[in-house]
């Protein structure tokens, strides 16, 4: 049964995140964006609220909420600015949920618990300078040395790449399979910043998400014990796809926040700006833009709620997450662009937030599967060329154990 009503706990969580954004991000975001300044204390403040483990079960240090709650948090954060939602996407969606689902008990205790508590920050290293959509084009590799693995490679465009403590690192462990591009030769390792041979840096000159950290990292003969392999040898590609499905859900939910923010900014402006002696909200073509933002918000939010529901129930959700991500991100770009037009020339300046929304939301059309990749995937599902896989993880029911937010 699909419920459209949020629970009291979810409403309290939403309110907590809204207040957090109003107090800790909104007053500073214009300056951070202008100066491309990343404030690392935001991570600790999010950790204090329990957000960095929001849907991780309490047993592993999390707040015990469900997937719908994770989506609500992402929507609220990106309503304010994309960089804050990106933190949730990489730390929770792409990394911690994969540890929860694929990790051994020992890995969960060592890595998941401090991540869910927000003591350690985490991210996801799949993309390389020459391999983004083409995952099997990656060049990173690992070689066995007794009970250890020696890791080498470069990862690029990594959110929190110059900040995080823990990384999921994907690389080839079977060079013969690499030659024939067989993804069952890829494995996943848990890597720590403190390991000898690890180095990282920050990328500069980004169009948007300028208040966030996007970086690169490099591993040169980094030695990890075999216990740091996540999943089995050769399961790296499967883990990456699992992670991306969760990540896509967070990106989609965040994009609904951009549509809502664009709509709200447009309504506020249209109700004050006067042209020819009347408010521009009286003009039909301005109304049309606002109506389209409203429709896009409602439709994409439903796609997100459906995805969250499927995930809560442990039902296959890869197709739904892809559809939500594809549609929410392209509609967020459309909404932000229309919001600039509603604002006229003012929308073209950073006196108003809408130009930031447009710069920020463009990246989401690219990462976690480009618009093109999702278009092709949806066509393949529709044509029966691609099948949904069984869901791997079911969270325990959160209602019984979710921590109380907003108190
Ligand atoms: C701000 C930001 C943050 C990011 N954070 C992370 C992160 O934390 N971790 C991480 O691992 N990665 C991250 N990425 C990387 C992101 O996932 C990749 O950029 C994305 O997968 C696209 O890969 P690419 O840039 O190599 O583009 P390419 O794969 O080179 O694609 C270029 C163009 O070709 C098209 N194309 C490629 N293949 C096909 C095909 N088979 N069929 C049709 N069209 C195709 C694409 O749609 C695109 O239009 C981030 C990127 C950005 C911009």
User: Is residue 353, in this structure, part of any structural domain at all?
Assistant: yes
* 113 and 147 both lie in a single domain: no
Q: Which of 215, 370, 386 to mutate to test the pocket of ligand 1 (most atoms within 8 A of CB)?
A: 370
CATH of the domain at 85: 1.10.540.10
- In a domain? residue 387: no
Residue 53 to residue 61: CA distance in whole angstroms:
7
Is residue 228 in a domain?
yes
What local confidence, expressed as pLDDT, does residue 390 receive? 74
The ligand 1 atom at the shortest distance from the C-alpha of residue 206 is 1
The answer on 250 and 215 residing in a single domain is: no
Helices 354-366/236-270 angle, 10° precision: 160
- The best mutation among 366, 368, 376, 380 to test binding of ligand 1, ranked by most ligand atoms within 8 Å of the C-beta, falls on 366
The CB of 163 under 6 Å from ligand 1? The reply is: no
pLDDT, average across residues 96-116:
97
Among candidate residues 21, 77, 33, the one with its CA nearest the CA of residue 351: 33
In a domain, 74, yes or no: yes
What is the Å distance from ligand 1's center to 159 Cα? 13
Check if 361 has its Cβ closer than 6 Å to any atom of ligand 1: no
Out of 46-50, 109-113, 391-395, least confident range = 391-395
Is 105 a residue of the active site? no
Query: Mean pLDDT, to the nearest integer, of 213-241?
Result: 98
Same domain, 270 and 317: yes
Q: Decide whether any atom of ligand 1 lies within 6 Å of the 367 Cβ.
A: yes
Q: How far apart are CA 158 and CA 167, in angstroms?
A: 10
Residues 218 and 117 in one domain: no
CB atoms within 10 A of CB 225: 11
Q: Is residue 253 part of a domain?
A: yes
For 340-352, what is each residue's pLDDT tens digit? 999 999 999 999 9
Is the beta carbon of 202 within 6 A of some atom in ligand 1?
A: no
Same domain for 272 and 358, yes or no, is yes
Q: Over the range 112-124, which residues count as b (16 or more CB within 10 Å of their CB) and which as e?
A: bbbbbbbebbbbb
Look up residue 39 and give its two tokens: 């404030």
Contact (CB, 8 A) for 85 and 254: yes
Mark whether 365 and 261 lie in a shared domain: yes
Predicted confidence (pLDDT) at residue 401 exceeds the cutoff of 60: no
Residue 131 Cα to ligand 1 midpoint, Å, equals 8
pLDDT of 400? 40
Q: Per-residue pLDDT for 402 more than 80? A: no
**Same domain (yes/no): 254, 179:** no
Q: How many domains does the chain have?
A: 3
The pLDDT assigned to 165 comes to: 98
Q: 301: closest CA among 269, 337, 263, 265?
A: 263
- Could you give the CA distance from residue 263 to residue 299 in angstroms, rounded to a whole number? 14
pLDDT, position 129: 97
CB atoms within 10 A of CB 396: 12
What is the spatial distance between Cα 264 and Cα 51, in angstroms, rounded to a whole number?
25
What is the domain range of residue 130? 123-236
Which of 77, 101, 121 is a domain's end point?
121
Q: Indicate which CATH number applies to the domain containing 307.
A: 1.20.140.10
The model's pLDDT over 303-326, given as tens digits with 9 standing for 90+, comes to: 999 999 999 999 999 999 999 999
pLDDT in tens, 150-181: 999 999 999 999 999 999 999 999 999 999 99
373 shares a domain with 295: yes
pLDDT, residue 388, reads 86
Residue nearest to ligand 1 atom 1, measured at CA: 363
Task: Report the pLDDT averaged over residues 232-251.
Answer: 97
Query: Is residue 179 a part of any domain in this protein?
Result: yes
- Residue 154 has a pLDDT of 98
Residues 374 and 324: their CA atoms lie apart, in Å, by: 10
> Is the CB–ligand 1 distance for residue 36 below 6 Å?
no
Residues 258 and 325 in one domain: yes
155's tokens:
């990862």
**CB contact set of 270 (below 8 Å; sequence gap of 6+):** 279, 280, 281, 286, 290, 342
Among candidate residues 97, 121, 145, the one where a domain is terminated: 121
pLDDT tens-place string over residues 29-65? 999 999 999 999 999 999 999 999 999 999 999 999 9
pLDDT bracket for residue 269 (50, 70, 90): very high
Whether residue 344 sits in one domain with residue 249 = yes
User: How far, in Å, from the CA of 248 to the mean position of ligand 1?
Assistant: 13
- Kindly state if the Cβ of 212 falls inside 6 Å of ligand 1: no
Residues 231 and 246 in one domain: no
257 and 363 in a single domain? The answer is yes
| Atom 35 of ligand 1: nearest residue by CA position | 372
Radius of gyration of the chain (CA): 21
Give the CB-side neighbour count of residue 1, counting CA atoms within 13 A.
2
Query: What CATH number has the domain bearing residue 173?
Result: 2.40.110.10
Question: Please, what is the average pLDDT of the chain?
Answer: 95
- For residue 403, being part of any structural domain is answered with no
Average pLDDT of 169-194?
Answer: 98
Binding site membership of 157 for ligand 1 (Cβ less than 6 Å): yes
Q: Note whether residue 388 is domain-resident.
A: no
């Amino acid at each position: 049964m699909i419920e459209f009503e949020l629970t009291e706990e979810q409403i309290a969580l939403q309110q907590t995140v809204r207040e957090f954004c109003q107090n800790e991000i909104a007053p500073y975001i214009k300056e951070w964006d202008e100066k491309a300044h990343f404030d690392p204390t935001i991570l600790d403040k999010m950790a204090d609220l329990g957000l960095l483990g929001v849907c991780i079960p309490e047993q592993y240090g999390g707040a015990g909420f469900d997937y719908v709650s994770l989506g609500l948090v992402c929507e609220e954060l990106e309503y304010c600015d994309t960089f804050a939602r990106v933190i949730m996407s990489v730390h929770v969606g792409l990394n911690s949920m994969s540890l929860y689902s694929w990790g051994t008990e020992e890995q969960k205790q060592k890595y998941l618990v401090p991540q869910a508590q927000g003591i350690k920050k985490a991210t996801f290293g799949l993309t390389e300078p020459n391999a983004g959509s083409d995952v099997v084009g990656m060049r990173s590799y690992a070689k066995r040395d007794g009970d250890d693995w020696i890791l080498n490679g470069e990862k690029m465009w990594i959110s929190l790449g110059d900040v995080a403590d823990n990384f999921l690192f994907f690389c080839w462990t079977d060079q013969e399979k690499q030659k024939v591009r067989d993804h069952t030769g890829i494995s996943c390792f848990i890597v720590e910043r403190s390991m000898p041979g690890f180095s990282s840096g920050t990328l500069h000159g980004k169009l948007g998400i300028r208040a966030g950290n996007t970086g690169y990292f490099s591993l040169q003969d980094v030695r990890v014990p075999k216990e740091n392999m996540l999943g089995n040898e050769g399961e790296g590609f499967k883990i990456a796809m699992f992670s991306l499905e969760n990540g896509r859900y967070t990106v989609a939910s965040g994009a609904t926040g951009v549509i809502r923010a664009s709509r709200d900014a447009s309504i506020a402006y249209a109700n004050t700006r006067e042209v020819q002696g009347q408010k521009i909200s009286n003009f039909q073509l301005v109304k049309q833009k606002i109506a389209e933002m409203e429709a896009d918000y409602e439709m994409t939010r439903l796609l997100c709620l459906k995805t969250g529901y499927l995930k809560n129930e442990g039902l296959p959700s890869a197709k739904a997450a892809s559809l939500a991500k594809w549609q929410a991100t392209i509609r967020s770009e459309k909404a932000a662009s229309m919001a600039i037009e509603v604002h006229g020339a003012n929308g073209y300046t950073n006196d108003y937030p809408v130009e930031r929304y447009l710069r920020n939301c463009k990246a989401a059309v690219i990462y976690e599967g480009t618009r093109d990749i999702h278009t092709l995937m949806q066509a393949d599902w529709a044509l029966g060329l691609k099948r949904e896989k069984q869901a791997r993880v079911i969270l325990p029911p959160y209602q019984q154990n979710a921590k109380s937010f907003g108190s």
